Amino acid sequence: MLLIVGTVRLPPANLEKARPAMRAMVSASRAEDGCVEYAYAEDVLDRGLIHVKEIWRDQAALDRHFASDHIAVWRASWPALGIGDRDLHAYEVEKKPRAT
């Protein structure tokens, strides 16, 4: 599995305007085959800082995500929303059974 974690930043004044675009991106991504988890979360201490967490089944699923129409729409919205300062990192992880 692939874990993507990091942050994106946008001007705090644009948060309300960005919410529909972020909601659409999260919903469409969660519906993709191979998406295990996909979430954005606003930092409670740093307004305009959005934490990103994604888990993908494999590289092929992530590649399809990068080629999706909804990610193209999301990326096209960045200039108008002032989204910048992206800091995302990918890690290969394995799921281990829970200890009982």
The pTM of the full predicted model, rounded to 2 decimals, is 0.89
Q: Is the pLDDT of residue 64 over 80?
A: yes
Rounded Cα distance between 38 and 50, Å, is 13
Banded model confidence at residue 99, pLDDT cuts 50, 70, 90: confident
Q: Give a yes or no: residue 68 inside a domain.
A: yes
Mean pLDDT, the chain, integer: 95
Rounded Cα distance between 18 and 82, Å, is 9
Q: Can you give the pLDDT at residue 70?
A: 96
Q: HSE-up of 12 (CA within 13 Å, CB side)? A: 5
Q: Give a yes or no: residue 99 inside a domain.
A: no
Encode pLDDT of 7-19 as tens digits.
999 999 999 999 9
User: If phi over 0 gives left and psi between -120 and 50 gives alpha, with beta otherwise, what is residue 2?
Assistant: beta
Q: Can you give the pLDDT at residue 92?
A: 95
Domain range holding 28?
Answer: 2-92
Residues ≥6 apart with Cβ < 8 Å to 81: 10, 14, 17, 18, 21
Q: Give a yes or no: residue 45 inside a domain.
A: yes
Encode pLDDT of 7-56 as tens digits.
999 999 999 999 999 999 999 999 999 999 999 999 999 999 999 999 99
Q: Is the pLDDT of residue 100 over 90?
A: no
Q: Give a yes or no: residue 98 inside a domain.
A: no
Q: What distance lies between CA 98 and its chain's CA centroid?
A: 26
- Structural domain total, the chain: 1
| CATH number of the domain bearing residue 35 | 3.30.70.100
User: Is beta strand 35-42 parallel, antiparallel or unpaired with respect to 2-9?
Assistant: unpaired
